[in-house]
Amino acid sequence: MRLSESSSPGFLPAEQVKRSTAVYAELAQDEKTRKLIEARQIYEIDRREEREDARKEGRVEGRIEGEAIGEARGLEKASLLIAKSLLLAGDSPEKVSQVTGLDVETVKNLSV
26-73 tens-digit pLDDT: 777 788 888 888 899 999 999 999 999 999 999 999 999 999 999 999
Over residues 89-100, mean pLDDT: 94
The contacts of residue 94 (CB under 8 Å, 6+ apart) are 104
Q: How many domains does the chain have?
A: 1
**Is residue 9 domain-resident?**
no
Domain membership flag for residue 30? yes
- Is residue 4, in this structure, part of any structural domain at all? no
Please check whether residue 29 lies inside any domain of the structure: yes
Distances in whole angstroms, Cα of residue 14 to Cα of each of 10, 17, 23, 41: 13, 5, 14, 21
Q: Would 46 be classed as within a structural domain? A: yes
> Looking at the domain assignment, is residue 24 inside a domain?
yes
Stated pTM of the model: 0.52
Domain that holds residue 20: 14-108
**Residue 5, domain member (yes or no):** no
**Residue 2 within a domain:** no
